[in-house]
Amino acid sequence: MALCLKQVFNKDKTFRPRKKFEPGTQRFELYKKAQASLKSGLDLKAVVQLPPGESINDWIAVHVVDFFNRINLIYGTMSEYCTEKSCPIMSGGLKYEYRWQDDSKYKKPTKLSAPQYMCMLMDWIEMLINNEDIFPTRIGVPFPKQFQQVCTKILTRLFRVFVHVYIHHFDSIINMGAEAHVNTCYKHFYYFIREFSLVDHRELEPLKEMTERICH
């Protein structure tokens, strides 16, 4: 029996405390503006556009953190169905396999199960967005030169979560009654990365047919 959407997405199934924006900061005001646009039912293509007079890096930072929270929660709601046994390889069907690499434990691309990959990914993103040298929160502190490059890497890896969920676990999403919510999150994410060319088009291939169907 399908679960009520509110019940599903209010459950505290995230892996860790959610990153939040401090009230009173410019980033918090931008976040509120973005959320208000989403709730108003505007065209998602319009919602992702940079508001006049705002900093592009601030806008990207707000969305990267928000997408991290949302996608972390989406995966958390169906993680019980994604196990070492069901998903021994982090993949998107038979054609796409994703290996993990970072600058510490896994210095070479390493084959991991999907649950292991997801855990490494969320820890890695959390570390980056909490790093003041990369995602500064203090007024007057500039973003580093490589900021957008880091965001591209984060968003590329978050896209792979959608790939795995849609290809391997969409039946579970449907059974939970969460299909419409996940589709809306995906469309918001997709329009944002396309608006600012933040993910290479080759990375988008695994969901190309579905994207053409739901993202007009």
Q: Which residues are annotated as a binding site for Zn(2+)?
A: 82, 87, 164, 169
91-92 and 96-97 strand pairing: antiparallel
Which residues are within 8 A (CB) of 75 and not within 5 positions of it... i.e. 6 or more apart? 82, 118, 122, 161, 165
CB 114 within 8 A of CB 87: yes
Which residues are within 8 A (CB) of 99 and not within 5 positions of it... i.e. 6 or more apart? 90, 109, 110, 111, 112
For the chain, state the CA radius of gyration: 17
Binding site: residue ranges? 82, 87, 164, 169
